[in-house]
A and B are shown apart, each in its own frame.
Chain A
Amino acid sequence: MAKKADQTASFMVRFNQIIFEEDGESKVQWRGKVSHVQGGEDQSFSDFNDAVKFIQERLADLTIEATKDKSPELQDSLLKKSFSLWKTMAKEGPKVIMETIKDPRKQVAHLQDQISDFGEDLMDKVPIDQWRNASRSDFNSIKDSISQLADEMKKLNAKVDAISKPVKTSRAPKTTKKATTPKKK
């Protein structure tokens, strides 16, 4: 079991508020710095998500360090349970979304690289190869499927209509017959 101190990460976050006028409009800007006490590293940020990302990366490192003597399987499992996904998401999350919108194919390849950093196990669980061309081919196949489905629906409706008509016509004369027969009698 790692020492208590090795299981602790402290962060100091400094926010510096700047209010200024620009183009006749009052604006506010936040400039910040986040420091990891035990590691001594720090990072400036103007978007708080970057500070969160910094913290999450340090926390993931803490898990890696604390489990380095464990079996690879256990370490893998602990990492997955605790911070590895956080780390991936925090590191690439916002960028992934923006870049996926801009260039889906390239971004999927990039995401694959990120996941491969965590080893084969995670790669096995994330069948990203199957998603690679999702943006284009899957869209076409869905479109084709919908067209086929629509055609089938039309055919089916036509069949239903075709089935319905004889039933109605056969019943009507019967009724007429039944109605008329007594009169004739």
Chain B
Amino acid sequence: MSHLQDKLQELKQFQEDAIIRIQTLGQFNLWRANDKVDSKQWGRDKTVQLLQYLISNRQRHALHKEKIMDHLWEDGDDRDFKVALHGVNKVLEPERPSRTEPSYVIRQGVSYQLDLEKIWIDVEALEQYVIIGNEAFGEDAVVSKAAYKAAIALYQGVYLPNRVFEDWSSEEREKIQILILGAYVILAEILLNENPLESIRLAQCAIAIDKTWEDAYRLQMQAYIIKGNRPQAIKAYQKCADVLDLEYGIDPLPATKKLLKEIENLH
């Protein structure tokens, strides 16, 4: 078993074993020991926001309390922060004895961060799957394909859709979008000859996220030709040309035009 395959397996295992699992893509949900935490247990929205903020900034180690407060509260004071943090800890560990250190939110002085070794978060897992997919690409097609598929399976929609107007969430949303666009296009490319219909679907998913993603149109054209559907291949080109003209006022790339010529010359 290769090193990357081990990593892939570990990630899948972690998703199954983790006591706390969080979904942020498409909608926000938290499972504690396989039980979904309902809105009553969350209480205030600020409690949810604080956890979501910690997730959005999970890779920036040790977030200073002042910085968190500055982003989440208009004129918040220490008490507001303490209440929200208490709410988060209560949701994550309702049975934690008082005066013991929380297990999932690590505190260092006045800085806080989530323990990613213990909490499974879909966006974190998605990123790790894409990393494995990229590392295995060109070396181990089976692992690469499995990793991209796992990443795509996690993408249930936009990151924290109910926080799209909050600037603290936009960086993570953008990062995930770019990662998933790449995963769709690379997997569509890997599957082109093996499963052109799936390539067309994956490319369409990429176009649904960003309608100007030219690689996706080119993959659709190639996949339609493999399927022997010349009119649809030309239609995909036309759609691409229309969108690029509308959005940027530019023509498709020479590679896309060349592909169209090749398609037109087919008999």
Cβ-defined contact, B248 with A14, below 8 A: no
* Shortest distance between the CB of B13 and any CB in chain A (Å): 34
Residues of B174-200 contacting chain A, CB below 8 A? 174, 178
Chain A residues with CB under 8 A of B210: 33
* Shortest distance between the CB of B245 and any CB in chain A (Å): 11
Cβ-defined contact, A40 with B164, below 8 A: yes
Cβ-defined contact, B248 with A45, below 8 A: yes
- Pick from A4, A22, A29, A38: contact of B165, CB under 8 Å: A38
- Pick from B165, B212, B214, B250: contact of A37, CB under 8 Å: B165
Chain A residues with CB under 8 A of B249: 46
**Bound form: Cα–Cα A153–B236 in Å:** 73
Chain A 26-39, CB-CB to B under 8 Å as 1, else 0, gives 00010101010111
Residues of A9-62 contacting chain B, CB below 8 A? 10, 12, 14, 18, 20-22, 29, 31, 33, 35, 37-40, 44-46
Cβ-defined contact, B167 with A31, below 8 A: no
* Shortest distance between the CB of B78 and any CB in chain A (Å): 18
Known: A4-B74, A8-B167. A29 touches B250 (CB 8 A): yes
Chain A residues with CB under 8 A of B167: 8, 10, 37-38
* Shortest distance between the CB of A60 and any CB in chain B (Å): 19
* Shortest distance between the CB of A109 and any CB in chain B (Å): 25
* Shortest distance between the CB of B254 and any CB in chain A (Å): 5
Q: Does A179 contact B (CB under 8 A)?
A: no
Closest A residue, CB atoms, query B214:
A18
Q: Which residues of B are at the interface with A, using a C-beta cutoff of 8 A?
A: 74, 164-167, 170-171, 174, 178, 210, 212, 214, 247-250, 253-255
Q: Which 3 pairs of residues, A with B, have the shortest CB-CB distance?
A: A10-B167, A44-B247, A46-B248
